[in-house]
A and B are shown apart, each in its own frame.
Chain A
Amino acid sequence: MLKLSKYVLYDIVRSKIILAYTLFLFLVSFSLFNMEENSSKAIMSLLTIILIVVPMISMIFTTIHYYNSYEFIELMLSQPMSRRKILLSEYAGVSVSLLSSFLIGVGIPILVYSPDAIGFSFLFTGGALTLVFTSLAFLTSVIARDKARGIGFALLLWFYFALIYDGLILLILFTFSDYPLEKLTLVLTALNPIDLGRISIMLKMDVSALMGYTGALYKDFFGSGSGILFTVGIMFLWIILPLWGALRIFKKKDL
């Protein structure tokens, strides 16, 4: 499997898109830290990159890569190679390259300019979201029949997690504002990896606001040791479950 991933990785690196992505992240985060006089605007822009751009790129890149590798996968299938091994190798190759892009592109500027708790929460969230959305993209790619549908499906899912989901939460909060909703919102946020990542950053950035109002509940929950474990655990599930689903479908899929 390692051998196969190595070749997948090699192929991705050679395509240069991943290099462009790394460079893009690097230049943007570097200039954000450099150009903005006040770091809070820089942090806000960086947050948008991590919560919105990284998941999107991860999904689109993965989807395109999957369809471009279709024939390669076919070739591998004619070899004595299990489907599980093939898909996992693809996942490993794609996720490792996207993750290292992120860690280099955003990680280095953060380590240079902001090596604090906020910086590390950024890296954790960005890294986790990269893996989660790579995993989700594998699921959608395996389900969708062709590239156009695959990308459409991926973008839709991204849009859902990045925007629509939060709109729905807001809707629920206002519709049922007479009920105690703290626990429900807690559960709801866990069902969206972007929200979960956002909250783990918020705990470092907006701790003062979170301590106000019912926010204290979130802080108490997510900030505690078991809360951190919970966040990491849920993120892990978000990586594992779509991948597991993709594997199941892929195993039965006709190629």
Chain B
Amino acid sequence: MLRLILILPTIIYCIPTFAKTIVVGKNQSITTIRKAVEIAKNKDSILVLPGIYKEGNIVINKSLTLAGQNFPILDGENKYEIFTVSGSDITIKGFQFQNSGSSAMNDYASVKVIDAKNIFVENNKVINAYFGIHFSNSSYVTIRNNTITGSPAMEQTTGNGIHLWKCNHALIENNRISGHRDGIYFEFVTESMIRNNYSTKNIRYGIHFMFSHYNSYFDNTFNDNGAGVAVMYSHNVTMERNTFEQNWGASSYGILLKDISDSRIQHNSFLKNSVGIHMEGSSRIEISQNIFKENGWAIKVQASCDDNNFYQNNFYGNSFEISTNGTMMLNKFYNNYWDKYEGYDRNKDGIGDVPYHPVSMYSMIVEENPNALILLRSFMVSLLDKAEKAIPSLTPENLIDDKPMLKPNKL
């Protein structure tokens, strides 16, 4: 293999009319990537052999394929942005980026892409970066199979793992992101897809959407992030088959929905989050076939939400199922399975004959006075809840599931 690689330049040199591959390595004629990029022409490839390259900032503005062999290390010495990319048809793969610089003024990244099209960033490792991979004003980009590991400091001094601003048609898949501010950040991004990513231990959110419409994310796992996943000020977002787990904290959620409309949340699993879904100002969202298990609060629906449908979800072992801050409820609940349901089914159609009130008196109390959480599962609280169930006075009367399932929905 090695020999082949050594022979390759000779061959390429002999056929200069075709796209050529420039090899960069310590013992090669070209020892720096900067030089290779300089001499390369559009559609050329640059092969970087193993080694440590400390070349400061490298600007790539030609249609090149840069490939690393056995992850050559590109070190930013905590000062420089490593790759600054612009243009079209550029592929960057197989590198290990480390120690790219951080700055309060500029969003330094390991790979920064500006005004570009058809960009592939694949199979890279990014270690200890301020921003990992940063795209702005680009379209048709693919970010795939990267491992991005930050060393989390403060929220202000850590950038995002994958950051997209004003992009469209992006595909982000099979990445593993940890230790950044937000795992994946979308702002003004449309018609993009995020799938099969694993986002864990990020300081703020696993995914953060702002003003990003017509996107979908599915089969991702969000584990132990500061505050889960936040989807804000967007519409037409599809969220499917994701797993949200152990997002623990005072303002921590599986998903935080803020001003979201016309979206779908289906077939997701919410496990052991402080709050499974927190919704405010959201409307026309279909929330169905999800599993909510052992969350503090399965769903918090603020009174500002309307026209949302919750159906065929399964609720198990949540400390609180639904809580809300008002007495009006303009959302529909039906055909959910609630493990705390105590009704009966006389006609044996699998649907309970008595409606279920998923909002307990106590959850209203806790909403009003969080300190009362200390009384969770006390005898007095269960008496209060029983009394409230008999004579509802505080809980919203119309927040009921009038067709509760007796057995869990098959999902």
Interface of A with B (CB < 8 Å)? 37-41, 43-44, 47-48, 51-52, 162-163, 166-167, 169-170, 173-174, 177, 181-182, 185-186, 189, 194-195, 198-199, 201-202, 205-216, 218
Beyond A202-B376, A213-B373, list 17 extra A-B contacts (CB 8 Å).
Answer: A40-B316, A51-B378, A162-B379, A163-B380, A166-B378, A166-B379, A177-B369, A205-B319, A206-B296, A206-B319, A207-B272, A209-B373, A210-B376, A212-B275, A212-B296, A212-B373, A214-B250
Interface of B with A (CB < 8 Å)? 246, 248-252, 272-275, 294-297, 316-317, 319-320, 339-340, 365-366, 369-383, 407
Please name the residue on chain A nearest to B317 by beta carbon.
A40
Please name the residue on chain A nearest to B366 by beta carbon.
A213
CA of A14 to CA of B209, assembled, Å: 70
| Complex A-B, nearest 10 residue pairs according to Cβ-Cβ distance, in ascending order | A209-B296, A209-B319, A212-B274, A211-B248, A208-B296, A166-B380, A213-B370, A40-B317, A38-B339, A206-B319
Give the Cβ gap from B31 to chain A, nearest Cβ, in Å. 53
Task: Give 27 pairs: A residue, B residue, CB < 8 Å, sorted on A.
Answer: A38-B317, A38-B339, A39-B317, A41-B339, A51-B377, A162-B379, A163-B380, A166-B378, A170-B380, A173-B372, A181-B371, A186-B374, A195-B378, A205-B377, A208-B296, A209-B274, A209-B296, A209-B373, A210-B296, A210-B373, A210-B376, A211-B248, A212-B296, A213-B366, A214-B373, A215-B370, A216-B250
Q: Determine the chain A residues whose CB is within 8 A of the CB of B382 once the complex forms.
A: 48
CA of A134 to CA of B295, assembled, Å: 36
Q: Determine the chain B residues whose CB is within 8 A of the CB of A52 once the complex forms.
A: 379
CA of A207 to CA of B245, assembled, Å: 13
- Verify B383–A208 contact, CB threshold 8 A: no
Q: Determine the chain A residues whose CB is within 8 A of the CB of B366 once the complex forms.
A: 213
| Given A51-B379, A163-B380, A206-B376, residue A212 in contact with residue B339 (CB < 8 A) | no
| Given A38-B339, A169-B374, residue A163 in contact with residue B379 (CB < 8 A) | yes
CA of A35 to CA of B376, assembled, Å: 25
- Verify B374–A199 contact, CB threshold 8 A: yes
Q: Determine the chain A residues whose CB is within 8 A of the CB of B274 once the complex forms.
A: 208-209, 211-212
Give the Cβ gap from A133 to chain B, nearest Cβ, in Å. 14
CA of A198 to CA of B295, assembled, Å: 18
CA of A198 to CA of B366, assembled, Å: 17
| Given A41-B340, A195-B378, A201-B377, residue A216 in contact with residue B249 (CB < 8 A) | yes
CA of A47 to CA of B316, assembled, Å: 17
CA of A39 to CA of B316, assembled, Å: 9
- Verify B248–A173 contact, CB threshold 8 A: no
| Given A40-B317, A40-B340, residue A211 in contact with residue B296 (CB < 8 A) | yes
CA of A47 to CA of B340, assembled, Å: 15
CA of A85 to CA of B224, assembled, Å: 55
| Given A163-B383, A166-B379, residue A173 in contact with residue B297 (CB < 8 A) | no
- Verify A218–B250 contact, CB threshold 8 A: no
- Verify A208–B319 contact, CB threshold 8 A: yes
Please name the residue on chain A nearest to B374 by beta carbon.
A185
CA of A185 to CA of B273, assembled, Å: 24
Q: Determine the chain B residues whose CB is within 8 A of the CB of A170 once the complex forms.
A: 365, 372, 375, 380
Please name the residue on chain A nearest to B300 by beta carbon.
A212
Give the Cβ gap from B345 to chain A, nearest Cβ, in Å. 13
- Verify A40–B339 contact, CB threshold 8 A: yes
CA of A177 to CA of B372, assembled, Å: 10
Give the Cβ gap from A203 to chain B, nearest Cβ, in Å. 11
Q: Determine the chain B residues whose CB is within 8 A of the CB of A185 once the complex forms.
A: 371, 374
| Given A166-B375, A216-B249, A218-B374, residue A209 in contact with residue B320 (CB < 8 A) | yes
Give the Cβ gap from B162 to chain A, nearest Cβ, in Å. 27
CA of A75 to CA of B262, assembled, Å: 82
Give the Cβ gap from B202 to chain A, nearest Cβ, in Å. 17
- Verify B316–A38 contact, CB threshold 8 A: yes
Find the residue from B274, B317, B371 having the highest chain A CB count within 10 A: B371
CA of A243 to CA of B407, assembled, Å: 49
| Given A162-B379, A206-B319, residue A189 in contact with residue B250 (CB < 8 A) | no
- Verify A167–B380 contact, CB threshold 8 A: yes
- Verify B249–A211 contact, CB threshold 8 A: yes
Residue in B296, B369, B373, B377 whose CB lies within 8 Å of A47: B377
- Verify B379–A48 contact, CB threshold 8 A: yes
Q: Determine the chain B residues whose CB is within 8 A of the CB of A206 once the complex forms.
A: 296, 319, 376-377
CA of A213 to CA of B382, assembled, Å: 21
- Verify A208–B294 contact, CB threshold 8 A: yes
Give the Cβ gap from B223 to chain A, nearest Cβ, in Å. 13
Give the Cβ gap from A251 to chain B, nearest Cβ, in Å. 35
CA of A52 to CA of B296, assembled, Å: 24
Q: Determine the chain A residues whose CB is within 8 A of the CB of B275 once the complex forms.
A: 212
Q: Determine the chain B residues whose CB is within 8 A of the CB of A210 once the complex forms.
A: 296, 373, 376
Q: Determine the chain A residues whose CB is within 8 A of the CB of B317 once the complex forms.
A: 38-40, 43
Give the Cβ gap from A168 to chain B, nearest Cβ, in Å. 10
CA of A215 to CA of B365, assembled, Å: 14
- Verify B372–A208 contact, CB threshold 8 A: no
CA of A127 to CA of B273, assembled, Å: 30
CA of A236 to CA of B19, assembled, Å: 80
Residue in A181, A209, A211, A216 whose CB lies within 8 Å of B376: A209
